[in-house]
């Protein structure tokens, strides 16, 4: 029930976005009945509520939905299946008592500080955006500099137009979508500037968000200075060489009153860190075994807090799984420990989960370091698959069947992406 | 006799983004090439004859948890109809409660069969500072 919070649960989920809602539903599927979702916003749904564009659900629902529609399907299910949602609430800490129960400290604007007892916890806090500090843009510090997602929230949830004349740094999908959105609302978008020689967003978004509206995309170009005292007045942009060094001689100024930054996302793991959970330096999220359990017993992780996904459909899949394992854990069902470490090899930035077992099929998510086409995906000496096309912006997923792992007697399985003849490898 | 001309598109049907070349004489399509699958040919034909797009925006809403209601078009409109559709939607105003899929405006910008629909349910709430 929305707004209800009891003292005891089987599973407590931290975060009510797409990951948290799917984890809660996954926990119910595993046979537990008491599930609480702790959400800091006034309602569940997470970032999808502000992602009003279409493109969600093509994998999970086999139809194209907008973010709010995708979210509502899960919110409705959660309410129908009697999941409790505590809005305006934060989890501030977690302890384990002598009988092995987890004690979750929840701070809420209505109920103050409360302690909730449970058997399993699912971390689903999502991620946040990198800011100006992360890329160290020189210049003054005026108003008018927003992360793209913040501008999206201001525009789509609160109804404020962030400015009249915008420059967008970074060509990830959020940046491209915001370029179109601002244009539709009457803000002039001067251009999208991308440090890399290619767009980090989907081609379809470059076409439908920039080309359709005549917004220029400047590749291998970055913002090198911010001007303005109270409000941003202009940015200096400059082309960069292969090493990413800006060429000041060819720089030019672009007048603007708004700068949007779409320069990457970071899993939001302050809570995980305070609990001493082991993190992966590459993903920025917890290290997890094949049940998506973190290094802290009874604590699971899924969605963007685990690693940044590009499609919500994969978040849903992963979170349903994490919820099921968390529910099993709450029911005291124990699985054998994983015996195989899964490690990234050539051209693989990361792969998840960090360990595997031979007792069931595993879904493995991974990201390439570079653009390759075509290439061969090799999993140890167990499996080879030819891929037509890989890019860092698109997660690769793969199912490894237990039959393959049963005959694998080593303790370390490496995943490589190898070029094939004629391929565009680095 | 009309002259043979060509158009270039980037297919948006999937992430590969095939560069497409469409050769035509006036309205007559002569050939399409560059696609790796037949969705590319279909896309190029649609782009050449009647490029259509859809988009989402918001309308103001009173009595709900937030002040904006996300809306979308029920089907794509011709690309050049987007500004007119936006202008029509800008005049709308909703009042909670609104149901997901509720039609707020029919035949937007005169495009038959394309409606403006709510993308979410927004219940009526008592606005209380929390």
A286-331 pLDDT per residue, tens: 999 999 999 999 999 999 999 999 899 999 999 999 999 999 999 9
Q: How far is B83 from chain A (nearest CA, A)?
A: 8
The average confidence (pLDDT) of chain B is: 91
Contact criterion met (CB < 8 Å) for B120 and A157? no
Within 8 A of B11 by CB-CB distance, chain A residues are 203
Residues of A with Cβ-Cβ distance to B72 under 8 angstroms: 52, 54, 66
| B79 in the same domain as B34 | no
Question: Looking at per-residue confidence, does A294 or A205 come out higher?
Answer: A294
Q: Which of the residues A63, A68, A187 would you substitute to probe the B interface, choosing the one with the greatest number of B C-beta atoms within 10 Å?
A: A68
| CB-count exposure of residue A340 (10 Å: 0-12, 13-18, 19+) | buried
pLDDT at residue A426 in the model: 45
Per the CB < 8 Å rule, is A212 touching B79?
yes
The CATH number assigned to the domain holding B87 equals 3.10.530
Residue A335 covered by a domain:
no
Q: Is residue B74 part of a domain?
A: yes
**ipTM for the predicted complex:** 0.89
Radius of gyration of chain A (CA): 23
Whether B12 sits inside 8 A of A208 (CB atoms) is: yes
Q: Do B12 and A156 touch (CB under 8 A)?
A: no
* Same structural domain, B67 and B114: yes
Query: Is residue A1 in a domain?
Result: no
Q: Are strands A375-379 and A412-419 parallel, antiparallel or unpaired?
A: antiparallel
Please determine, for residue A11, whether its predicted confidence score (pLDDT) is greater than 90: yes
Domain tally for chain B? 2
Q: Are residues B63 and B86 in the same domain?
A: yes
Task: Say yes or no: A152 and A253 in one domain.
Answer: yes
Contact B54 A54 (CB under 8 A): yes
pTM score, two decimals? 0.93
Average confidence (pLDDT) over A145-163:
96
Categorize the per-residue pLDDT at B66 as very low, low, confident or very high, splitting at 50, 70 and 90.
Answer: very high
B38 and B77 both lie in a single domain: no
Give residue-wise pLDDT tens across range A58-80: 889 989 999 999 999 999 999 99
- Return phi, psi of residue A389, to 5°: -165, 125
Beta-carbon separation of B58 and A54 below 8 A: no
Check pLDDT > 90 for residue A116: yes
Does a structural domain hold residue B90? yes
Long-range contacts at A274-279 (CB < 8 A, ≥ 24 apart)? A274/A93, A275/A93, A275/A94, A275/A299, A277/A301
Sign of the dihedral defined by the CA atoms of residues A293, A294, A298, A302, in that order: negative
Q: Of all residues in chain A, what percent carry a pLDDT higher than 70?
A: 99
pLDDT tens sequence across B30-64: 999 999 888 899 999 999 999 999 999 999 999 99
Residue B130: inside a domain, yes or no?
no
Using the Cβ of A184 and the Cβ atoms of chain B, whether some distance falls under 8 Å is answered with: yes
Same domain, A178 and A111: no
Domain shared by A101 and A135, yes or no: no
Do A138 and A256 fall into the same domain? yes
Output the CA torsion sign for A160, A68, A72, A30. negative
State the average pLDDT over residues A201-207.
85
Instruction: Tell whether B55 lies on the interface with A, counting CB pairs under 8 A.
Output: yes
Could you list the residue range(s) of the whole structural domain that residue B8 is in? 4-49
Q: Are residue B70 and residue B19 in the same domain, yes or no?
A: no
Please check whether residues A32 and A122 belong to one and the same domain. yes
What average pLDDT does the segment A183-209 reach?
Answer: 91
Q: Indicate if the pLDDT at residue B15 is higher than 80.
A: no
Whether residue B124 is contained in a domain is answered as: no
Shortest distance, CA B54 to any CA of chain A (angstroms) = 9
B16 touches chain A (CB under 8 A): yes
Mean pLDDT (whole number) for B15-32: 88
Same domain? A19 vs A115: yes
Print the domain residue range for A412. 340-419
Please report where in the chains the tokens 């996904």 appear, as a residue: A309
Same domain, A135 and A251: yes
Residue B111 in any domain: the answer is: yes
Does residue A120 fall inside a structural domain?
yes
- For chain A, what is the domain count? 3
């Amino acid at each position: 029930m929305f707004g209800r919070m009891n003292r005891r649960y089987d599973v407590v989920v931290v975060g009510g976005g797409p990951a948290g809602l799917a984890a809660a539903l996954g926990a119910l599927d595993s046979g537990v009945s008491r599930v609480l979702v702790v959400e800091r916003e006034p309602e569940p749904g997470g970032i999808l509520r502000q992602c009003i564009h279409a493109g969600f659900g093509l994998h999970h629902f086999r139809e194209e939905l907008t973010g709010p529609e995708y979210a509502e399907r899960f919110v409705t299910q959660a309410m129908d299946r009697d999941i409790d949602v505590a809005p305006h609430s934060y989890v501030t800490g977690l302890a384990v008592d002598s009988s092995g129960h987890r004690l979750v400290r929840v701070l809420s604007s209505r109920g103050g500080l409360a302690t909730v007892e449970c058997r399993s916890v699912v971390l689903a806090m999502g991620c946040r955006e990198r800011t100006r500090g992360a890329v160290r843009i020189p210049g003054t510090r005026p108003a008018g500099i927003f992360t793209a997602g913040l501008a999206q929230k201001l525009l789509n949830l609160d109804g404020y137009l962030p400015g009249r004349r915008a420059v967008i740094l970074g060509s990830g999908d959020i940046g491209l979508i915001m370029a179109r959105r601002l244009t539709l609302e009457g803000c002039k978008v001067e251009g999208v500037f991308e440090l890399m020689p290619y767009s980090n967003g989907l081609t379809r978004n470059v076409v439908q968000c920039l080309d359709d509206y005549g917004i220029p995309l400047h590749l291998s170009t970055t913002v090198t200075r911010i001007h303005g005292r109270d409000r941003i007045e202009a940015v200096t942009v400059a082309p960069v060489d292969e090493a990413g060094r800006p060429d000041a001689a060819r720089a030019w100024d672009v007048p603007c009153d708004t700068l949007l930054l779409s320069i990457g996302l970071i899993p939001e793991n302050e809570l995980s860190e305070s609990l001493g959970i082991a993190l992966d330096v590459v993903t920025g999220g917890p290290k997890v075994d094949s049940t998506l359990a973190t290094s802290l017993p009874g604590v699971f992780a899924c969605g963007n807090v685990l690693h940044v996904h590009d499609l919500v459909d994969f978040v849903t899949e992963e979170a349903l799984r994490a919820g099921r394992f968390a529910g099993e854990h709450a029911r005291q069902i124990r699985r054998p420990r994983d015996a195989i470490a899964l490690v990234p090899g050539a051209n693989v930035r990361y792969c998840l989960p960090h360990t595997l077992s031979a007792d069931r099929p595993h879904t493995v998510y991974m990201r390439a370091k570079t653009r390759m086409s075509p290439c061969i995906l090799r999993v140890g000496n167990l499996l080879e698959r030819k891929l037509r096309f890989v890019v860092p912006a698109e997660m690769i997923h793969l199912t490894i069947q237990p039959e393959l792992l049963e005959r694998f007697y080593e303790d370390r399985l490496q995943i490589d992406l190898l070029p094939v003849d004629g391929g565009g490898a680095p | 006799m009309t002259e043979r001309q060509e158009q270039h598109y980037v297919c948006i049907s999937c992430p590969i983004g095939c560069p497409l070349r469409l050769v035509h004489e006036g309205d007559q399509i002569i050939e399409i090439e560059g696609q790796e699958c037949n969705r590319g040919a279909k896309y190029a034909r649609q782009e050449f004859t009647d490029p259509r797009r859809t988009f989402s925006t918001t309308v103001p809403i009173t009595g709900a948890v937030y002040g904006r209601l996300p809306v979308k078009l029920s089907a794509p409109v011709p690309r050049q109809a987007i500004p007119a559709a936006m202008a029509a939607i800008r005049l709308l105003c909703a009042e909670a409660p609104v149901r997901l899929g509720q039609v707020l405006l029919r035949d937007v910008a005169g495009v038959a069969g394309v409606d403006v629909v709510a993308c979410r349910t927004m219940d009526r709430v008592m606005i209380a500072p929390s």
